[in-house]
Amino acid sequence: MTKNNFEPLTTRLSSKGQVVIPAEVRKQLGLSAGDQLSVDIDKNNNIVLKSRPTPLEWHDLIKNIPIEDVDIDKEGHYDPQKSPHFDEWMREK
């Protein structure tokens, strides 16, 4: 973990498939018991753990996303003046 001034640490896989994340790593990342992590495998077959956003973090992530109702008729037309954010999104390339 040279990125955070840690020497690489070793942990073991239990008979139940559990892995303990060393305390100093949990502290550095602010992880607590019960936190959810996503598990992925990168192109080099390395296991990648990522912390998942908490409900409060999700709120902060999406609070500035505009919300608007869009009425689309049977032909797929809508009024750009009534739905300006949708219209802007539709025009992006």
Tens of pLDDT, residue by residue over 10-40, are: 999 999 999 999 998 899 888 999 888 999 9
Does 43 have pLDDT greater than 60? yes
**Under a CB-based contact definition with an 8 Å cutoff, are residues 41 and 47 in contact?**
yes
Q: Using one digit for the tens of pLDDT, what is the confidence trace for 49-70?
A: 888 888 888 899 888 887 899 9
CA–CA gap between residue 88 and residue 66 (Å, rounded): 12
Residue type, 53: P
| Domains observed in the chain | 2-52 (2.10.260.10), 53-93 (no CATH)
Contacts of 11 (CB under 8 A, 6+ apart): 19, 20, 21, 22
Does 80 have pLDDT greater than 60? yes
